[in-house]
Chain A
């Protein structure tokens, strides 16, 4: 027990000093645990030394502030720390791979990257597009509805935090199999179906209520997600770049606006940085916050008006770490100190200890700094929107953070100390695991395989999710998540954000967790390729990327090793394809009693299209059109849905031939711009056969395609491999007969071939390597298999 270290100060309110100046190692750790601040020994020692130098004991407020600021969630210790990897020294994964890729690509159109709450690229007509994707895995595991809802609310505030008006949301979700055996469920882990229904509803609840369309996303299923649900929430915003204010200075007033502060979400940060244990459900439920989207909607209106009138000098959201990280980071960013009177912060109920007020993660709050002369105007705007806004302190010139409660000084910390935690040094190692190439005879009934693939959870229609999100609100959704009369799955969403311009925003994503089980490097490479080709397929270009890592415990060398491999791929592929990273976020420590999460990298892609009238959708348009495949097919079925169907993982995952990929993307864009492409669909899970089937049933036409014409590796000697290989950088393109000469000219030097034609008879046929029809199926039947599978799992 460390009770003797805790000294109650004689104040009217609860305040403790913690006398750790003479504490020994074990005692330091004990104090860290008791306060729930999650600091390790090296960190606690640094804290101890700091206060020894100051010749005084720290208060609970101070230790909590340090704990929050140095947490994995706020500081990203792993990505910013040092790593020893197979004998090599890496000084910050983030700087070495992610930021460096952006530096190397160095595009002129990036307005702000990695600096603020969200990445910003220029859009034209003086506007910029801001984008951010957040992970909210841990809170969603414990309380699916609230966790997912507040995840969406949080990422929307990130967009508000760069003065942008949110115009679209995205969501990428990973669940355990919905038919998972209840009996195998460990205590403390919620069933995937419960998690699924809660998460999906929670995301819809927030976006819908705020009137922000949810336009793009993905849902994947994996056994490892049973104990570690994966929830990525994204948001895109629009801002006039001339109104982007970031010039706070000493003397500016700190204003907190929006919801009141309560006990909800206290210690969410340290909680997100710890592994989920059996006890999680019981002990951490108060760490999940209650969402109030209407509060945030009002907040948004006020913020947009304050932006337009240029009344504030800086803004940031209150997310992980609450006031402690928002105040600290704002002060640091502008080279200031700060004074805050914690008793001014409006509370939801009763009394809270000063440290609780400072670290609470209550939702729907934003922090602004306002030049004194504008304060009255700003407060009036909030009042008009029925939003509470309160000045709680000011920025100061001296680089010191001072917190008071009822005039008593409860914390005094140097900003320079606060933002210099000891660098973590971690060990990483990676060895390619041994896998075997499977050997099985080619199935005789390939049509049956195709039907099974279409109804497998990872491929089946996500309509039951898509429809409970409003994807039409704001009236600017040009290419929708489901397209055509028969609602096929589009590759990307296109928005037309400005009334007086035809220019569009293109949003897409890529995610391939199965490949990560075999090779994290090619998994990451494939995710990048998929995100980009989805974007290219509808007409997107000038693509910016976002990286979101969901990994296991980085303190385990092999987990960290695979993270390093994935980061290496991010650098290699992004630089080769000329697509910079502009924002990202990591969620580590995704481990449960069932084991670690399958390493899962989400790549989100933000592109533009100069004229939305050029946008291309995936459904077949008419009969008698030529169907081309662009890109080369290899014998790389490791981690494929086809193998998964057979219960095999395999050995060889799809690779990315970066030089060829870049040329293919460019050529497809040129063909779209020339107005030649009537439909375009990327080849991903389930390969050529699934992509062709989706195009058919989305448009209501058949196809007759010849597998002998597919540009392919020589060893690819089986029809099933050609049909179901998931090689990257491939598209199916529909073209009318007249356009084909021009198209072939554009494609010269790239692997491509005309495979056959669309047909009126609504049957999909493939001619095999031996010249006979090897797969034939009714398009309507394929469509209904695809549509029914998932929705019958979750609906009556």
Chain B
């Protein structure tokens, strides 16, 4: 079975986010009343697994092994079955 994973990796609160700050500044300059911007990454993964549980477990593993550095990153995983 194929599963569509959406893995969001973003900075943990408390760490400074230069990219977000710069983006916020530019958006303000364009006239938007932007309070703050935080930037993260989304990985869309098409994965072969037997069950939703297994897909979730694998996604968790991917984050721990590569996609997130626990020093600074939080992550969130969304798993969808594909038809």
Contact = CB atoms under 8 A, between A and B. Distances in A.
Interface string B20-50: 0110011001110000000000000000000
B30 to A, nearest CB: 8
A796 interface: yes
A197 B31 CA distance: 18
A796 B28 CA distance: 12
A796 B22 CA distance: 8
Contacts of A182: 30-31
B58 to A, nearest CB: 25
A182 B32 CA distance: 14
A179 to B, nearest CB: 11
Interface residues of B, number: 7
Interface string A193-236: 10001000000000000000000000000000000000000000
Nearest to A795: B22
A197 B19 CA distance: 13
Interface string A310-333: 000000000000000000000000
A195 to B, nearest CB: 13
Contacts, number: 7
A225 to B, nearest CB: 20
Nearest to B21: A796
Interface residues of A, number: 4
Contacts of B22: 796
A796 B31 CA distance: 16
Contacts of A193: 29
Contacts of B29: 193
A631 B30 CA distance: 48
A182 B30 CA distance: 9
Interface string A62-74: 0000000000000
Nearest to B29: A193
A182 B29 CA distance: 10
Interface string A763-796: 0000000000000000000000000000000001
Nearest to A796: B25
A197 B26 CA distance: 11
Contacts of B21: 796
Nearest to B31: A182
A451 to B, nearest CB: 26
A182 B31 CA distance: 10
A197 B23 CA distance: 12
A13 B65 CA distance: 43
A570 to B, nearest CB: 41
A249 to B, nearest CB: 47
A80 B21 CA distance: 50
Contacts of A796: 21-22, 25
Interface in A135-190: 182
Nearest to B30: A182
A409 B21 CA distance: 56
A197 B30 CA distance: 14
A796 B21 CA distance: 9
B55 to A, nearest CB: 25
Nearest to B18: A796
B79 to A, nearest CB: 25
Contacts of B30: 182
A756 B22 CA distance: 47
A685 to B, nearest CB: 28
A439 to B, nearest CB: 40
Interface in A239-295: none
Contacts of B31: 182
Contacts of B25: 796
A182 B25 CA distance: 16
Nearest to B22: A796
A654 to B, nearest CB: 37
A662 to B, nearest CB: 49
B28 to A, nearest CB: 11
Contacts of A197: 26
Interface in A562-585: none
A189 to B, nearest CB: 15
B57 to A, nearest CB: 30
Nearest to A194: B26
A182 B26 CA distance: 13
A796 B24 CA distance: 11
Nearest to B25: A796
B27 to A, nearest CB: 12
A197 B22 CA distance: 11
B8 to A, nearest CB: 23
B63 to A, nearest CB: 24
B34 to A, nearest CB: 14
A193 B30 CA distance: 11
Interface string A483-498: 0000000000000000
A193 B22 CA distance: 13
A39 B26 CA distance: 42
A15 to B, nearest CB: 33
A792 to B, nearest CB: 13
A694 to B, nearest CB: 30
A468 to B, nearest CB: 13
A796 B29 CA distance: 12
B33 to A, nearest CB: 16
A231 to B, nearest CB: 21
B17 to A, nearest CB: 13
A89 to B, nearest CB: 52
B18 to A, nearest CB: 9
A592 B26 CA distance: 25
A461 B29 CA distance: 23
A644 to B, nearest CB: 25
A796 B18 CA distance: 11
Interface string A666-699: 0000000000000000000000000000000000
Nearest to A197: B26
B71 to A, nearest CB: 24
Interface in A343-364: none
B82 to A, nearest CB: 19
B73 to A, nearest CB: 23
A197 B21 CA distance: 15
Interface of A: 182, 193, 197, 796
5 contacts: A182-B30, A182-B31, A193-B29, A796-B22, A796-B25
- Sorted nearest first, the 6 A-B pairs with minimum C-beta distance are A796-B25, A796-B21, A796-B22, A193-B29, A182-B30, A197-B26
